[in-house]
Protein backbone atom coordinates (compact mmCIF):
# COMPACT_ATOMS: atom_id res chain seq x y z
CA UNK A 1 0.00 0.00 0.00
CA UNK A 2 1.38 3.39 -0.95
CA UNK A 3 1.45 6.30 1.42
CA UNK A 4 -1.09 9.02 0.49
CA UNK A 5 0.48 12.16 -0.95
CA UNK A 6 0.38 15.10 1.44
CA UNK A 7 -0.10 18.51 -0.16
CA UNK A 8 1.29 21.52 1.64
CA UNK A 9 1.64 25.07 0.40
CA UNK A 10 5.11 26.65 0.49
CA UNK A 11 4.00 28.70 3.52
CA UNK A 12 2.84 25.56 5.32
CA UNK A 13 6.13 23.79 4.54
CA UNK A 14 8.07 26.74 5.95
CA UNK A 15 5.89 26.90 9.06
CA UNK A 16 6.26 23.19 9.82
CA UNK A 17 10.00 23.17 9.10
CA UNK A 18 10.72 26.24 11.21
CA UNK A 19 8.80 24.73 14.12
CA UNK A 20 10.74 21.45 13.72
CA UNK A 21 14.03 23.32 13.57
CA UNK A 22 13.25 25.34 16.71
CA UNK A 23 11.87 22.43 18.72
CA UNK A 24 14.05 19.53 17.55
CA UNK A 25 17.09 20.38 15.48
CA UNK A 26 18.41 23.76 16.67
CA UNK A 27 19.92 22.45 19.90
CA UNK A 28 21.43 19.44 18.13
CA UNK A 29 23.13 21.31 15.26
CA UNK A 30 23.79 24.93 16.24
CA UNK A 31 27.24 25.62 17.57
CA UNK A 32 28.93 22.51 16.19
CA UNK A 33 27.67 22.93 12.61
CA UNK A 34 27.17 26.69 12.10
CA UNK A 35 27.29 27.69 8.45
CA UNK A 36 26.42 24.22 7.18
CA UNK A 37 23.05 23.36 5.67
CA UNK A 38 20.18 21.26 6.91
CA UNK A 39 17.45 19.90 4.64
CA UNK A 40 14.41 19.28 6.81
CA UNK A 41 11.90 16.65 5.67
CA UNK A 42 8.61 18.12 6.89
CA UNK A 43 6.62 14.90 6.47
CA UNK A 44 8.96 12.43 8.20
CA UNK A 45 10.43 15.03 10.58
CA UNK A 46 14.03 14.15 9.75
CA UNK A 47 16.99 16.35 8.90
CA UNK A 48 19.91 15.87 6.54
CA UNK A 49 23.17 17.73 7.13
CA UNK A 50 25.52 18.91 4.40
CA UNK A 51 28.49 21.22 3.98
CA UNK A 52 26.75 22.83 1.00
CA UNK A 53 23.04 23.16 0.10
CA UNK A 54 23.43 20.60 -2.68
CA UNK A 55 24.92 18.07 -0.25
CA UNK A 56 22.05 18.35 2.23
CA UNK A 57 19.38 18.23 -0.49
CA UNK A 58 21.06 15.25 -2.21
CA UNK A 59 21.12 13.27 1.05
CA UNK A 60 17.49 14.16 1.68
CA UNK A 61 16.43 13.31 -1.89
CA UNK A 62 18.27 10.01 -1.80
CA UNK A 63 16.52 9.07 1.47
CA UNK A 64 13.06 10.32 0.47
CA UNK A 65 12.83 10.82 -3.32
CA UNK A 66 9.35 12.35 -3.20
CA UNK A 67 9.89 14.30 0.02
CA UNK A 68 9.13 17.91 0.83
CA UNK A 69 12.20 19.68 2.15
CA UNK A 70 13.00 23.04 3.67
CA UNK A 71 16.59 24.26 3.58
CA UNK A 72 18.13 25.96 6.62
CA UNK A 73 21.60 27.43 7.03
CA UNK A 74 22.54 26.53 10.58
CA UNK A 75 23.10 29.52 12.83
CA UNK A 76 21.82 32.01 10.23
CA UNK A 77 18.49 33.79 9.75
CA UNK A 78 18.23 32.67 6.11
CA UNK A 79 19.74 29.99 3.90
CA UNK A 80 20.87 32.63 1.39
CA UNK A 81 21.44 36.37 1.42
CA UNK A 82 20.60 38.35 -1.69
CA UNK A 83 21.70 41.91 -2.24
CA UNK A 84 23.94 44.24 -4.10
CA UNK A 85 26.69 46.71 -3.40
CA UNK A 86 25.77 50.17 -4.57
CA UNK A 87 28.28 52.67 -5.84
CA UNK A 88 28.27 56.37 -5.29
CA UNK A 89 26.70 58.28 -8.14
CA UNK A 90 29.99 59.87 -9.26
CA UNK A 91 31.62 56.44 -9.52
CA UNK A 92 28.65 55.08 -11.42
CA UNK A 93 28.72 57.97 -13.92
CA UNK A 94 32.35 57.25 -14.76
CA UNK A 95 31.70 53.55 -15.34
CA UNK A 96 29.01 54.09 -17.98
CA UNK A 97 30.37 54.52 -21.48
CA UNK A 98 28.28 56.07 -24.22
CA UNK A 99 27.18 53.70 -26.95
CA UNK A 100 28.99 54.21 -30.23
CA UNK A 101 25.78 55.07 -32.10
CA UNK A 102 25.02 57.87 -29.62
CA UNK A 103 28.29 59.69 -30.31
CA UNK A 104 28.16 62.56 -32.82
CA UNK A 105 29.03 61.49 -36.34
CA UNK A 106 28.55 57.75 -35.74
CA UNK A 107 25.50 55.92 -37.00
CA UNK A 108 24.39 52.37 -36.32
CA UNK A 109 25.13 49.91 -39.13
Q: DSSP of 48-86, one letter per residue?
A: EEESSHHHHHHHHHHH-TT--EEEEETTSSSS-------
Q: Rounded to the nearest 5 degrees, what angle is found at the Cα of 35, between the Cα atoms of 68 and 19?
A: 40
What are the structural domain ranges in the chain? 10-73
- Residue 4's pLDDT is what? 44
pLDDT number for residue 105: 58
Please say whether the beta carbons of 59 and 52 come within 8 A: no
pTM over 0.75: no
Provide the pLDDT for residue 10: 84
Give me the pLDDT at residue 77, please: 66
Of 96, 28, 92, 14, nearest to 36 by C-alpha is 28
pLDDT for position 60: 94
Return the bridge partners of 15, or none. Answer: none
Taking only the tens of pLDDT, the chain with its 109 residues reads 345 456 788 888 889 989 999 999 988 988 889 889 999 999 899 999 999 999 999 999 999 998 889 998 888 766 656 666 665 555 555 555 555 555 555 555 5
Amino acid sequence: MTKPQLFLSPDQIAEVAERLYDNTFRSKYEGAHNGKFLAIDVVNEKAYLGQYPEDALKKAGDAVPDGMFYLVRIGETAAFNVGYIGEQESELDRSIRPLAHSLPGLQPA
